[in-house]
Protein backbone atom coordinates (compact mmCIF):
# COMPACT_ATOMS: atom_id res chain seq x y z
CA UNK A 1 0.00 0.00 0.00
CA UNK A 2 1.48 3.33 -1.09
CA UNK A 3 0.64 6.53 0.80
CA UNK A 4 1.43 8.45 -2.39
CA UNK A 5 -1.89 7.29 -3.86
CA UNK A 6 -5.21 8.88 -3.01
CA UNK A 7 -6.71 5.66 -1.66
CA UNK A 8 -6.27 1.93 -1.41
CA UNK A 9 -8.85 -0.81 -2.09
CA UNK A 10 -7.62 -4.39 -2.07
CA UNK A 11 -8.04 -6.33 -5.32
CA UNK A 12 -8.87 -9.57 -3.51
CA UNK A 13 -11.67 -11.68 -5.03
CA UNK A 14 -12.52 -13.56 -1.84
CA UNK A 15 -16.07 -12.14 -1.74
CA UNK A 16 -17.63 -12.40 -5.22
CA UNK A 17 -21.15 -11.02 -5.56
CA UNK A 18 -23.47 -12.37 -8.23
CA UNK A 19 -25.47 -9.21 -8.94
CA UNK A 20 -28.77 -10.90 -9.79
CA UNK A 21 -28.57 -13.29 -6.82
CA UNK A 22 -27.72 -10.32 -4.60
CA UNK A 23 -30.77 -8.41 -5.82
CA UNK A 24 -33.05 -11.43 -5.35
CA UNK A 25 -31.76 -12.01 -1.81
CA UNK A 26 -32.41 -8.37 -0.93
CA UNK A 27 -35.78 -8.07 -2.63
CA UNK A 28 -37.71 -5.17 -1.14
CA UNK A 29 -34.64 -3.23 0.01
CA UNK A 30 -35.30 0.36 -1.17
CA UNK A 31 -31.59 0.88 -1.78
CA UNK A 32 -31.51 -1.90 -4.39
CA UNK A 33 -34.95 -1.97 -5.98
CA UNK A 34 -34.89 -2.86 -9.67
CA UNK A 35 -37.73 -2.53 -12.17
CA UNK A 36 -37.26 -5.00 -15.03
CA UNK A 37 -39.33 -4.33 -18.15
CA UNK A 38 -38.35 -7.25 -20.34
CA UNK A 39 -35.62 -9.71 -21.24
CA UNK A 40 -35.16 -10.37 -24.95
CA UNK A 41 -32.33 -12.20 -26.65
CA UNK A 42 -30.25 -12.16 -23.47
CA UNK A 43 -30.56 -8.38 -23.13
CA UNK A 44 -32.31 -7.01 -20.03
CA UNK A 45 -34.24 -3.76 -20.20
CA UNK A 46 -35.01 -1.63 -17.14
CA UNK A 47 -37.39 1.18 -16.31
CA UNK A 48 -36.31 4.27 -14.44
CA UNK A 49 -39.22 4.47 -12.01
CA UNK A 50 -39.30 5.32 -8.36
CA UNK A 51 -37.04 2.41 -7.39
CA UNK A 52 -33.35 3.00 -6.80
CA UNK A 53 -32.39 0.64 -9.66
CA UNK A 54 -29.03 -0.64 -8.46
CA UNK A 55 -27.87 -2.23 -11.73
CA UNK A 56 -28.93 0.54 -14.13
CA UNK A 57 -27.25 3.09 -11.86
CA UNK A 58 -24.11 0.94 -11.80
CA UNK A 59 -24.07 0.84 -15.59
CA UNK A 60 -24.66 4.60 -15.80
CA UNK A 61 -21.76 5.13 -13.41
CA UNK A 62 -19.47 2.86 -15.44
CA UNK A 63 -20.25 4.72 -18.68
CA UNK A 64 -19.72 8.05 -16.93
CA UNK A 65 -16.33 6.88 -15.64
CA UNK A 66 -15.09 5.27 -18.86
CA UNK A 67 -16.11 8.21 -21.02
CA UNK A 68 -14.36 10.52 -18.53
CA UNK A 69 -17.32 12.88 -18.41
CA UNK A 70 -17.27 15.85 -16.05
CA UNK A 71 -19.03 15.76 -12.68
CA UNK A 72 -22.19 17.35 -14.12
CA UNK A 73 -22.90 13.96 -15.72
CA UNK A 74 -22.51 11.96 -12.49
CA UNK A 75 -26.30 11.52 -12.19
CA UNK A 76 -27.01 11.36 -15.93
CA UNK A 77 -29.32 8.54 -17.06
CA UNK A 78 -28.13 6.83 -20.22
CA UNK A 79 -30.39 4.99 -22.66
CA UNK A 80 -31.07 1.25 -22.46
CA UNK A 81 -28.92 0.78 -25.56
CA UNK A 82 -26.02 2.65 -23.93
CA UNK A 83 -26.44 0.71 -20.69
CA UNK A 84 -26.42 -2.62 -22.51
CA UNK A 85 -23.04 -1.73 -24.02
CA UNK A 86 -21.64 -2.35 -20.53
CA UNK A 87 -20.68 -5.98 -19.93
CA UNK A 88 -19.86 -7.22 -16.43
CA UNK A 89 -18.34 -10.70 -16.94
CA UNK A 90 -20.46 -13.39 -15.23
CA UNK A 91 -22.53 -10.55 -13.70
CA UNK A 92 -20.04 -10.64 -10.84
CA UNK A 93 -18.54 -7.83 -8.78
CA UNK A 94 -16.26 -8.19 -5.77
CA UNK A 95 -17.03 -6.83 -2.31
CA UNK A 96 -14.38 -5.74 0.19
CA UNK A 97 -14.87 -4.68 3.80
CA UNK A 98 -12.73 -1.55 4.02
CA UNK A 99 -10.80 1.07 2.06
CA UNK A 100 -8.11 3.54 3.10
CA UNK A 101 -8.14 7.21 2.13
CA UNK A 102 -4.76 8.91 2.35
CA UNK A 103 -4.29 12.56 3.23
CA UNK A 104 -1.66 15.08 4.31
CA UNK A 105 -1.87 16.43 7.86
CA UNK A 106 -1.26 20.05 8.83
CA UNK A 107 2.31 19.15 9.85
CA UNK A 108 2.86 17.62 6.36
CA UNK A 109 2.72 13.99 7.44
CA UNK A 110 0.94 11.36 5.36
CA UNK A 111 -1.80 9.46 7.16
CA UNK A 112 -4.93 7.53 6.27
CA UNK A 113 -8.54 7.08 7.36
CA UNK A 114 -10.24 3.70 7.10
CA UNK A 115 -13.73 3.63 5.62
CA UNK A 116 -15.86 0.73 6.85
CA UNK A 117 -19.56 0.57 5.86
CA UNK A 118 -20.47 -1.08 9.17
CA UNK A 119 -18.63 1.21 11.58
CA UNK A 120 -17.15 4.28 9.88
CA UNK A 121 -18.86 4.97 6.58
CA UNK A 122 -19.17 8.77 6.51
CA UNK A 123 -17.42 10.51 3.60
CA UNK A 124 -17.50 13.92 1.96
CA UNK A 125 -16.81 15.11 -1.59
CA UNK A 126 -16.65 18.48 -3.29
CA UNK A 127 -20.05 19.67 -4.46
CA UNK A 128 -20.74 18.98 -8.11
CA UNK A 129 -23.04 21.99 -8.39
CA UNK A 130 -22.01 24.93 -10.59
CA UNK A 131 -23.29 27.46 -8.02
CA UNK A 132 -23.31 25.48 -4.77
CA UNK A 133 -25.12 26.79 -1.71
CA UNK A 134 -22.77 24.54 0.28
CA UNK A 135 -19.26 23.49 -0.86
CA UNK A 136 -19.54 19.78 0.01
CA UNK A 137 -21.75 16.74 -0.43
CA UNK A 138 -21.91 14.06 2.27
CA UNK A 139 -22.66 10.34 2.07
CA UNK A 140 -22.60 7.06 3.99
CA UNK A 141 -20.77 4.23 2.20
CA UNK A 142 -23.01 1.14 1.99
CA UNK A 143 -20.68 -1.03 -0.07
CA UNK A 144 -17.13 -1.09 -1.47
CA UNK A 145 -16.70 -2.98 -4.74
CA UNK A 146 -14.26 -3.60 -7.55
CA UNK A 147 -14.91 -5.29 -10.89
CA UNK A 148 -13.70 -6.06 -14.37
CA UNK A 149 -15.90 -4.50 -17.01
CA UNK A 150 -16.09 -4.30 -20.81
CA UNK A 151 -17.62 -1.39 -22.69
CA UNK A 152 -18.54 -2.21 -26.29
CA UNK A 153 -18.72 0.45 -28.98
CA UNK A 154 -19.16 -0.84 -32.51
CA UNK A 155 -16.36 -3.32 -33.11
CA UNK A 156 -14.29 -1.95 -30.25
CA UNK A 157 -14.28 -3.27 -26.70
CA UNK A 158 -12.65 -1.38 -23.85
CA UNK A 159 -11.66 -3.48 -20.83
CA UNK A 160 -11.09 -1.83 -17.47
CA UNK A 161 -10.83 -2.56 -13.79
CA UNK A 162 -12.99 -0.21 -11.72
CA UNK A 163 -13.45 0.52 -8.03
CA UNK A 164 -16.82 1.91 -6.96
CA UNK A 165 -18.67 2.85 -3.78
CA UNK A 166 -22.42 2.34 -3.28
CA UNK A 167 -23.58 5.23 -1.10
CA UNK A 168 -26.60 6.78 0.53
CA UNK A 169 -26.50 10.55 0.32
CA UNK A 170 -27.02 12.99 3.17
CA UNK A 171 -28.33 16.51 2.77
CA UNK A 172 -27.62 19.70 4.68
CA UNK A 173 -30.57 20.72 6.86
CA UNK A 174 -31.33 24.18 5.52
CA UNK A 175 -33.32 25.36 8.54
CA UNK A 176 -30.35 24.84 10.88
CA UNK A 177 -28.22 27.93 11.42
CA UNK A 178 -24.55 27.17 10.91
CA UNK A 179 -21.29 28.81 9.89
CA UNK A 180 -18.80 31.11 11.59
CA UNK A 181 -21.51 33.66 12.34
CA UNK A 182 -23.44 31.10 14.43
CA UNK A 183 -20.39 29.10 15.63
CA UNK A 184 -21.96 25.83 14.50
CA UNK A 185 -20.98 23.23 11.90
CA UNK A 186 -23.68 22.30 9.37
CA UNK A 187 -26.21 19.68 10.42
CA UNK A 188 -26.93 16.90 7.95
CA UNK A 189 -29.45 14.08 7.65
CA UNK A 190 -30.20 11.16 5.34
CA UNK A 191 -32.19 11.91 2.20
CA UNK A 192 -35.59 10.21 2.07
CA UNK A 193 -35.44 6.64 0.75
CA UNK A 194 -38.13 7.50 -1.79
CA UNK A 195 -35.92 10.15 -3.42
CA UNK A 196 -34.53 8.78 -6.70
CA UNK A 197 -31.14 10.35 -5.92
CA UNK A 198 -30.91 9.03 -2.35
CA UNK A 199 -28.66 6.13 -3.41
CA UNK A 200 -26.00 6.06 -6.11
CA UNK A 201 -22.45 5.07 -7.00
CA UNK A 202 -19.38 7.17 -6.27
CA UNK A 203 -15.86 7.23 -7.66
CA UNK A 204 -13.54 6.61 -4.64
CA UNK A 205 -11.16 9.23 -6.04
CA UNK A 206 -13.73 11.94 -5.25
CA UNK A 207 -13.51 11.45 -1.49
CA UNK A 208 -11.78 14.27 0.32
Which pLDDT tens digits describe the chain residue by residue (208 residues)?
667 889 999 999 999 999 989 988 887 777 776 544 444 444 444 444 444 588 888 999 998 888 887 766 677 778 888 888 889 999 999 999 999 999 888 888 888 999 999 999 999 998 877 776 778 889 999 999 999 998 877 677 788 999 999 999 988 766 666 666 756 677 777 777 777 788 999 999 999 8
Query: Is 14 within a domain?
Result: yes
Q: Are 31 and 142 in contact (CB under 8 A)?
A: yes
Please tell me the total count of domains within the chain: 1
Q: Classify residue 30 as exposed, middle or buried by CB count within 10 Å of its CB (0-12, 13-18, 19+).
A: middle
Pairing mode, strands 136-153 and 92-96: antiparallel
Query: Is 2 within a domain?
Result: no
Q: Are 99 and 147 in contact (CB under 8 A)?
A: no
Q: Classify residue 207 as exposed, middle or buried by CB count within 10 Å of its CB (0-12, 13-18, 19+).
A: buried
Side-chain-side CA neighbours of residue 157 (13 Å)? 9
Query: Is 92 within a domain?
Result: yes
Query: Is 1 within a domain?
Result: no
Q: Classify residue 32 as exposed, middle or buried by CB count within 10 Å of its CB (0-12, 13-18, 19+).
A: buried
Query: Is 32 within a domain?
Result: yes
- pTM for the structure as a whole: 0.81
Range of the domain at 27: 7-206
Query: Is 71 within a domain?
Result: yes
Q: Which DSSP helix (H) or strand (E) runs through 31?
A: none
Query: Is 130 within a domain?
Result: yes
Task: List CB contacts of 164: < 8 A, sequence separation 6 or more.
Answer: 58, 61, 145, 146, 147, 201, 202, 203, 204
Task: List CB contacts of 45: < 8 A, sequence separation 6 or more.
Answer: 36, 37, 38, 39, 80, 84
Query: Is 62 within a domain?
Result: yes
Amino acid sequence: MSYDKHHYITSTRNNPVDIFAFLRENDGDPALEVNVVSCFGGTIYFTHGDGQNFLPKLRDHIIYRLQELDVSYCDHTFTNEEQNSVIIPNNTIYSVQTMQVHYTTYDLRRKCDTINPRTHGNVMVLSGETTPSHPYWYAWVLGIYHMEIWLTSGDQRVRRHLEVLWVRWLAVIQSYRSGSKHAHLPKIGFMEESDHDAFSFLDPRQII
